[in-house]
A and B are shown apart, each in its own frame.
Chain A
Amino acid sequence: MDNLTFGLTMAIVGMGGTLVTLGLMALLIHLLTVFLPPGDGKGDS
């Protein structure tokens, strides 16, 4: 694979993949805090 194809593949799929994965993770973390809300439980911070 030539360098240009390789670089663009890494940049587009890599940066795009990182953004999408972290976006998905942010959504799941939000859901975690919704479904596991803080109560009077010990250790909530």
Chain B
Amino acid sequence: MSEAILGGLEALTSGFRELAQNGGPGLIMLAIAGGMFYLAIAKGVEPLLLLPIAFGCMLVNLPLSEMMSPEGTLRTLYNMGIANELFPLLIFVGIGSMTDFTPLLANPKLLLFGAAGQLGIFLTLLLALALGFSQSEAVSVAAIGACDGPTVIYVSNLFAERDQIPKAMVGALAVAAYSYMALVPVIQPPIMRLLTTRKEREVKMPSPKGKVSKAALIAFPIVVVVITGIIAPKGLPLMGMIMLGNFIKVSGVVPRLASAAENEIANVSTLFLGLAIGGTMAGPQFLTRETLMVFGLGFVAITTDTVGGILLGKVWYWLSGGKVNPLVGAAGISAYPMAARIVQVEGQRWNKHNFLLMHAMAANTGGQIGSVMAAAIMLSILKGLGIL
């Protein structure tokens, strides 16, 4: 009898013993989870994703946690939607439904800013290789330059499921991607000022003229999907889902589906994805030198994206005889609509009569398409090289 009681008590205190004996990495991860809670709740940094990620991180790092064991709850979520890349794709349906491509259709040449805004992906890839990352790891880290959380998770997980990168790296990449996306308003303005002259920043751009027909808006997602399917079929799941969401919305005939894509589907997928990604952040696997390097390279990626967009803006300014404000180029990244708002605020700071918002929105939606297209093209090249 007494042995049974002692055994029961021992079971209840084993968590404390584990904490005392092997709790170091777990305690650090619990502190990191606490930091993410603080950022999400007190500072409003990407709370939609950081909250569930932090909670998943906390759940998996408590002593003796079985949340990521083969039968664990987080493992089930992971297998349901991360291992097969389903959750990021469902989130893309929601993003597509929430995005208004009208400014881009009114001024399609601004789509080129969406290409320039992906410069960070390829420069970071070269840098990661130079720093000793494997080819698969370098591609995964470079994907942070897409400035788009679901794309980063989708790309890196393709490698994680083939054991080409550690699974814990997916969590580090996701947290880095979402953190830097939230920091875009802090990162971009100094670069915008550094790379442009006052005269360039003051350039006033007239409002875009002309309406866009509903027929063109409906045809747009179909055209984008067909081109992606022909040129970069490996990225079709990404582009297909984002354009499906947009098609559902602009068709105007299925408001219930559009509402479900924007709300229920996006919200449930975001919650499950965040929890499962947090579940990959177990201390011993997460606390590595590579994780720190991922955060450093992520910063390089986001910074060089902005540089790429502004440099194209400067070329355009020169070619147009000073009619294009180079600041618009900074919106050619995927952080929508945040990057467009930053351009508007920065433009008005130097010329109170300047309204760059619609141009910046066009470049910003171009950045969304550009980031997915860059990822799609990378994946297709990797398939061609026999790596995927």
Report A's interface with B, CB cutoff 8 A: 1, 3-4, 6-11, 13-15, 17-19, 21-30, 32-33, 36-39, 41-45
B122→A14 contact, CB < 8 A: yes
B231→A22 contact, CB < 8 A: no
- Given contacts A22-B114, A29-B108, 11 further A-B pairs with CB under 8 A are A7-B129, A13-B381, A14-B378, A19-B116, A22-B366, A24-B227, A29-B105, A36-B219, A38-B212, A38-B213, A44-B212
Closest CB in chain A relative to B116 CB, distance in Å: 8
B373→A11 contact, CB < 8 A: no
Tell me the nearest residue of chain A to B370, going by C-beta.
Answer: A22
Instruction: Judge if B293 is at the interface, Cβ distance under 8 Å.
Output: no
Pick the contact of B216 from A1, A21, A33 — CB < 8 Å? A33
B109→A28 contact, CB < 8 A: no
By a CB distance below 8 angstroms, the chain A residues around B130 are 3, 7
A18→B214 contact, CB < 8 A: no
B369→A45 contact, CB < 8 A: no
A26→B111 contact, CB < 8 A: yes
A25→B369 contact, CB < 8 A: yes
By a CB distance below 8 angstroms, the chain A residues around B212 are 33, 38, 44-45
By a CB distance below 8 angstroms, the chain B residues around A36 are 213, 215-216, 219
Pick the contact of B118 from A10, A18, A28, A43 — CB < 8 Å? A18
A32→B220 contact, CB < 8 A: yes
By a CB distance below 8 angstroms, the chain A residues around B231 are 17, 21
Closest CB in chain B relative to A34 CB, distance in Å: 9
B385→A9 contact, CB < 8 A: yes
